[in-house]
Amino acid sequence: MSTNKKIQFSKKRTWSHDLPISFLMQQGVENPGVLSLAAGLVDQNSLPAGITKQAFDELFTDPRTAKEALQYGTTAGSLALRSLLLKHLSRLEQKSVEEIGITVDNMIVTTGSQQYLSLLGEVLLDPGDICLVAAPTYFVFLGVLQGLGARIVSVETDEFGMRMDSLEATLAMLDSQGQLSRVKMIYLVSDYENPSGVSLALDRRKQVVEIARSWSREQRVFVLEDLAYRELCYDGPVVPSIRSFDTTGETVILTQTFSKSFSPGLRVGFGVAPDEVCAAIRDKKGNDDFGSTNFSQHILATALRENLYYDHVEYLRTVYREKRDCMLQAADLHFSNIPDVHWVHPRGGLYVWMTLPDGIETGFNSPLFQKAIHEDKVMYVPGELCYAVDTGRGEKEQPSIQKNHMRLTFGVQNLAGIQEGMQRLANAVKSFV
Amino acid sequence: MSTNKKIQFSKKRTWSHDLPISFLMQQGVENPGVLSLAAGLVDQNSLPAGITKQAFDELFTDPRTAKEALQYGTTAGSLALRSLLLKHLSRLEQKSVEEIGITVDNMIVTTGSQQYLSLLGEVLLDPGDICLVAAPTYFVFLGVLQGLGARIVSVETDEFGMRMDSLEATLAMLDSQGQLSRVKMIYLVSDYENPSGVSLALDRRKQVVEIARSWSREQRVFVLEDLAYRELCYDGPVVPSIRSFDTTGETVILTQTFSKSFSPGLRVGFGVAPDEVCAAIRDKKGNDDFGSTNFSQHILATALRENLYYDHVEYLRTVYREKRDCMLQAADLHFSNIPDVHWVHPRGGLYVWMTLPDGIETGFNSPLFQKAIHEDKVMYVPGELCYAVDTGRGEKEQPSIQKNHMRLTFGVQNLAGIQEGMQRLANAVKSFV
């Protein structure tokens, strides 16, 4: 006896269908011989097994500390960890804790920084509210915004990140349309942006805070600074965060994660926000899971306290620097003889952003993607996923979503895999030029 | 220069203010000498430090398995763990995996079962949609429903759990009000309900599935079965789950957690649902955190695979049985001479539900709560938190929210703490009779 009655899902359920990340993962599963330059995993071999063991052993030698790690934590996260995170930020910002001007109460530990991004969206955005993003930007966050029914408005970028003149122009346009009261935030991956590899220039970091403030006419416009790749810097200057220019701490909300710099399996990220926002996120998180895993937090706190973490990050930089160089060399070797193909040389992060000649599309349904995955056995992330669809405009009025880019990552493959993958990819591309 | 512009939060933010759980935790922090019979923590001393170490050592002896645990997992959770969860359910249901009629694809691993409850609410409930609950019921889930803007409608209970005649009558009432199309689910903690300690009688488990089906006229009405306390059974018969009566698997959604039976610090729970619901939850979780901690999942999978888990649960039952008996004996000793005070003898779980004489209120602002916390130095959960406010009715039309109950837990205190706490509480109560 089947009732077979239709399930009536919530309205927001319809906004989070068919996520590209699921499609990508599915492709990986269905095509086992495929070399993935797409997967956002980190380098398996350099994962901190030894350090985690050291931290675990230290925690579990004393039954008291072991049992604390196995008990419930609090919704905002372990106080010991949050205190260490303050010091961590102080070290990264090269400022004293006092100069940074935040306390542990401004911090919430989350299940990766992804959960922080999602929680912030939940507490700030009603359907139709506006978030400004770079074009291109982190496509998984675009999925979050879409799932909340938010309107996503893209801002032009160049080799120094989001263009401040375009940002001003976009805000002015929204104002003239009577939409300024709906603008809640400007999202920026300021260091080694996923996917473009570009970092926001120093002068723009200061400007964006001023711009957000000056347009906070009807309600506060936040800058959401995603520093997921901050610590994966391989060469060139390390630039202060956008947040460091927010002297009152009212405008910038910052998130970071230990997924890239330590272990994604621990799922520990965190965010820093003004008190009111922090309270809102804590309340929502209280309902959602009343706290991320305490066990992981205790492991990470031990690794941070003993400086094991910092040694590991140093090591990781040498590993990824070599892998980045390997991918850039392979690009030189296999792509430099293909006309009108160019790519960014990132100074950090995990991605190389490659641009193909104008007519060559890279999307899931493109001949290139299909040939690459089925014949050449290589996979990349189509660049078009990283450009937002603005639901405030008609289909034909979309600001040109660029379709001829690929996001390549040197994170997960070893050196041989990177070289082989780049050769396969060049083969695929050559069929279309 | 402060912009000081007002923050415009999302509408749903306003629905999750002032959670009672935060107030309770705050009271604990602010009154350090207070013995808490309120905190929902588990027994600290019996946490599985040794078993976790054994599982960890096994995982980390081999760098390959260590690094798998430290890498990203998938949104739905570790496949190895989900396969073990199938066997786990099969063991608990005393049926073969085939008889249970689910696969790993019906399962999603979450950050405690709390996250499963919250995700399910997100994908099913629009503001104004209706969830039926027992009166009293798990107050944290009431917070989740409130945070989603759902309407909560209470159904009467007796010593066998939710009354099926009241459930029918409530559904008929909602139908007559044209609200049947908004009824999305019936929430039940079927074993040793938090807070009442009552289990749903066997015949009612079958009936509730039939009732949900027969009222699935306009869209599917789900039964959400929360089996958080299932394995904490101390005596008396173990009853099959509600889900075991759902022959087509279309009506009942089941959640369980390892927070009570193993370690809340690992934050591993899971849920079982029909395919379509599972897909919706996976999509939402993909946006929210793309997977709970993989590390914890690998530890738990190892403990389950090696049967370390089952030995621990056996041990835990003896620990909690003794603590429950201790609390019941202390109740006999200190409360049996106070007229019109009675309490439930739970056969499992972590709670003793105590009823005071009609006129004695127990809420946060009641003289009893204030005296208990400030003078007698003991804390409980006011029973009224466990009764839903129906936003579909006016303030004066609320079905009598009962104000003379206390939820007491024997989870966190040791035997001496339980005895002392009960004595203090009796002192407080005696001042008001």
Q: What does the alpha-carbon distance between residue B223 and residue B235 come to, in Å, rounded to a whole number? A: 26
Fill in the amino acid letter for B148: L
Rounded to an integer, the average pLDDT of B120-139 is: 97
Q: Identify the pLDDT of residue A1.
A: 45
Q: Identify the pLDDT of residue B326.
A: 98
Residue B41 has pLDDT above 90, yes or no: no
pLDDT digits (tens, 9 = 90+) for A353-384: 999 999 999 999 999 999 999 999 999 999 99
Q: Which pair of tokens denotes residue B283?
A: 């999509």
Rounded to an integer, the average pLDDT of B382-396 is: 88
CATH code for the domain defined by B50-307: 3.40.640.10
Within 10 angstroms of residue B176's Cβ, the number of other Cβ atoms is: 9
Cβ <8 Å between B143 and A220 = no
Rg of chain A, C-alpha, whole Å: 22
Q: Which of A53, A180, A293 to mutate to test the interface with B (most CBs of B within 10 A)?
A: A293
Cβ <8 Å between B295 and A71 = no
pLDDT digits (tens, 9 = 90+) for A255-302: 999 999 999 999 999 999 999 999 999 999 999 999 999 999 999 999
Confidence of residue B269 (pLDDT cuts 50, 70, 90): very high
Q: Is B343 exposed, middle or buried (0-12, 13-18, 19+ CB in 10 A)?
A: buried
Domain with CATH 3.90.1150.10 in chain B: 16-47+311-430
Q: Identify the pLDDT of residue B210.
A: 98
Q: Identify the pLDDT of residue B262.
A: 97
pLDDT digits (tens, 9 = 90+) for B224-262: 999 999 999 999 788 999 999 999 999 999 999 999 999
- The residue among A317, A296, A161 whose CA lies nearest residue A231 is A317
Chain B residues with CB inside 8 Å of A280's CB?
9, 13
Q: What does the alpha-carbon distance between residue A159 and residue A171 come to, in Å, rounded to a whole number? A: 21
Domain with CATH 3.40.640.10 in chain A: 72-306
Q: What does the alpha-carbon distance between residue A291 and residue B396 come to, in Å, rounded to a whole number? A: 36
Domain with CATH 3.40.640.10 in chain B: 50-307
Instruction: Provide the shortest C-alpha distance from residue A159 to chain B (in Å).
Output: 29
- The residue among B367, B373, B327, B365 whose CA lies nearest residue B349 is B327
Cβ atoms of A282 and A76 closer than 8 Å: yes
User: What single DSSP character describes residue B291?
Assistant: S
SS (H, E, C) A52-100: HHHHHHHHHHCHHHHHHHHCCCCCCCCHHHHHHHHHHHHHHHCCCHHHH
Residue B387 has pLDDT above 60, yes or no: yes
pLDDT digits (tens, 9 = 90+) for B140-183: 999 999 999 999 999 999 999 999 999 999 999 999 999 999 99
Domain with CATH 3.90.1150.10 in chain A: 11-47+311-430
Closest partner CB to B47 (pick from A42, A70, A298): A70
Q: Which residue of A has its CA nearest to B149?
A: A10
pLDDT digits (tens, 9 = 90+) for A209-221: 999 999 999 899 9
Q: What does the alpha-carbon distance between residue B233 and residue B239 come to, in Å, rounded to a whole number? A: 10
Q: Which of B285, B295, B302 to mutate to test the interface with A (most CBs of A within 10 A)?
A: B295
Q: Which residue of B has its CA nearest to A262?
A: B70
Cβ <8 Å between B295 and A140 = no
- Give me the architecture of the A11-47+311-430 domain, per CATH: Alpha-Beta Complex (3.90)
Residues contacting residue A268 through CB under 8 Å, at least 6 positions apart: A81, A109, A110, A111, A112, A257, A258, A259, A262, A292, A293, A296, A297, A300
In chain A, DSSP finds a helix count (H) and a strand count (E) of: 14, 14
Cβ <8 Å between B118 and A7 = no
Q: What does the alpha-carbon distance between residue B185 and residue B145 come to, in Å, rounded to a whole number? A: 11
pLDDT digits (tens, 9 = 90+) for B272-314: 999 999 999 999 999 999 999 999 999 999 999 989 999 999 9
Chain A residues with CB inside 8 Å of B111's CB?
111, 288-289, 292-293
Q: What does the alpha-carbon distance between residue B8 and residue A183 come to, in Å, rounded to a whole number? A: 10
Q: What does the alpha-carbon distance between residue B3 and residue A257 come to, in Å, rounded to a whole number? A: 29
Of A23-32, A76-85, B212-221, the poorest mean pLDDT is in: A23-32
A4 against B215, higher pLDDT: B215
- The residue among A365, A344, A349, A356 whose CA lies nearest residue A402 is A356
Cβ <8 Å between A22 and B124 = no
Q: Which pair of tokens denotes residue A278?
A: 């922090």
Q: Which of B17, B53, B64, B70 to mutate to test the interface with A (most CBs of A within 10 A)?
A: B70
Residue B398 has pLDDT above 80, yes or no: no
Q: What does the alpha-carbon distance between residue A289 and residue B140 come to, in Å, rounded to a whole number? A: 10
Q: Identify the pLDDT of residue B1.
A: 45
pLDDT digits (tens, 9 = 90+) for B281-292: 999 999 999 999
Residue B2 has pLDDT above 70, yes or no: no
Residue B120 has pLDDT above 60, yes or no: yes
Closest partner CB to B147 (pick from A48, A56, A287): A287
- Residue with structure tokens 């066990």? A295
- Residue with structure tokens 């705050």? B26
Predicted ipTM? 0.95
pLDDT digits (tens, 9 = 90+) for A5-55: 899 999 999 888 777 777 777 777 778 889 999 988 899 999 999 999 999
Cβ atoms of A261 and A224 closer than 8 Å: no
Q: What does the alpha-carbon distance between residue B419 and residue B433 come to, in Å, rounded to a whole number? A: 21
Rounded to an integer, the average pLDDT of A157-179 is: 97
Cβ <8 Å between B49 and A56 = no
* CATH domain B16-47+311-430 topology: Aspartate Aminotransferase, domain 1 (3.90.1150)
Segments in B31-103 forming alpha helices (H): 49-61, 63-70, 79-93, 97-100
Closest partner CB to A265 (pick from B3, B47, B73): B73
Instruction: Provide the shortest C-alpha distance from residue B201 to chain A (in Å).
Output: 24
pLDDT > 70 fraction of chain B, expressed in percent and rounded = 99
Closest partner CB to B5 (pick from A4, A220, A277): A220
- The residue among A202, A221, A204 whose CA lies nearest residue A277 is A221
Cβ <8 Å between A220 and B288 = no
Residue B3 has pLDDT above 70, yes or no: no
Q: Where are the beta strands (DSSP E) in B192-239?
A: 222-226
Confidence of residue A4 (pLDDT cuts 50, 70, 90): low
Q: Identify the pLDDT of residue A179.
A: 96
Chain B residues with CB inside 8 Å of A125's CB?
10
- Give me the architecture of the A72-306 domain, per CATH: 3-Layer(aba) Sandwich (3.40)
Q: Which residue of B has its CA nearest to A284?
A: B16
Chain B residues with CB inside 8 Å of A1's CB?
213, 247-248
Instruction: Provide the shortest C-alpha distance from residue A174 to chain B (in Å).
Output: 17
Q: Identify the pLDDT of residue B223.
A: 98
Q: Which pair of tokens denotes residue B427?
A: 């002192």
User: What single DSSP character describes residue A239?
Assistant: P
Secondary element (H or E) of residue A252:
strand A252-257
Chain A residues with CB inside 8 Å of B290's CB?
21, 112, 114, 140
Closest partner CB to B280 (pick from A9, A48, A122): A9
Q: What does the alpha-carbon distance between residue B239 and residue B161 come to, in Å, rounded to a whole number? A: 13
Give me chain B's average pLDDT, please.
Answer: 94
Residue A242 has pLDDT above 80, yes or no: yes
Q: Give the distance from CA A49 to its chain's centroid.
A: 24
Cβ atoms of B400 and B151 closer than 8 Å: no
Q: Which of B8, B206, B248, B319 to mutate to test the interface with A (most CBs of A within 10 A)?
A: B8
Rounded to an integer, the average pLDDT of A91-114 is: 95
Residue A57 has pLDDT above 70, yes or no: yes
- Residue with structure tokens 């937090």? A297
Partnered with residue B133 across adjacent β-strands are B154, B187
What do you get for the CA distance between the two ends of chain B, in Å?
A: 58
Instruction: Provide the shortest C-alpha distance from residue B197 to chain A (in Å).
Output: 22
Confidence of residue B4 (pLDDT cuts 50, 70, 90): low
Chain B residues with CB inside 8 Å of A74's CB?
25
Cα B129–Cα B135–Cα B140 angle in degrees, nearest 5: 65
Q: Which residue of A has its CA nearest to B115?
A: A289
Q: What does the alpha-carbon distance between residue B278 and residue B284 come to, in Å, rounded to a whole number? A: 10
Cβ atoms of B259 and B113 closer than 8 Å: yes
Cβ <8 Å between A3 and B298 = no
Q: How far is CA A120 from CA A130, A270, A313, B275, B379, in A?
A: 13, 12, 28, 29, 33
Cβ <8 Å between A21 and B114 = no
Fill in the amino acid letter for B389: V
Cβ <8 Å between B63 and A49 = yes
Q: Identify the pLDDT of residue A39.
A: 84
Rounded to an integer, the average pLDDT of A244-264 is: 97
Within 10 angstroms of residue A357's Cβ, the number of other Cβ atoms is: 14
Cβ atoms of A381 and A360 closer than 8 Å: no
Q: What does the alpha-carbon distance between residue A278 and residue A222 come to, in Å, rounded to a whole number? A: 13
pLDDT digits (tens, 9 = 90+) for A326-354: 999 999 999 999 999 999 999 999 999 99
Closest partner CB to B13 (pick from A9, A67, A280): A280
Closest partner CB to B70 (pick from A40, A47, A73): A47
Closest partner CB to A10 (pick from B60, B123, B213): B123
Fill in the amino acid letter for B338: I
